[in-house]
Amino acid sequence: MPHRDYLSPDYYVPLIFNGVRICVILLLAYIATVLTARFIRALRKYALKMMLKTGGGTQVEVEKRADTVGGVMRKSLVGLIWTIALIMVLREMNF
């Protein structure tokens, strides 16, 4: 009788643990995304200050350059973080 298996708590325990693991993975990916954004923002400020100090161009040009580099770095790292998180979630789901 296979329908009796669905009434047993033993059937749901592994599913609950996998669900908790998936939630932890997603939470850690979100935290890594926030920390990455903060790091890139701080790095952008530092790079902007150093480029202005060395005379790398006008302030507007330097800000554009720093925004471009920071945006590319942020999007690349965030994409990498969420790709790894997706692979880990799929692995938890036995795909």
Q: What is the pLDDT along the chain (95 residues), one digit of tens a residue?
A: 456 777 788 888 888 999 999 999 999 999 999 999 999 999 999 988 888 888 877 889 988 988 999 999 999 999 999 999 999 999 999 88
pLDDT score recorded for residue 1: 47
Q: For residues 77 and 63, is the Cβ–Cβ distance under 8 A?
A: no
The overall pTM is greater than 0.85: no
Q: For residues 26 and 93, is the Cβ–Cβ distance under 8 A?
A: no
Question: If you search the block for the tokens 């471009």, which residue do you land on?
Answer: 68
DSSP 8: S
* Residues with Cβ within 8 Å of residue 78, at least 6 apart in sequence: 33, 36, 37
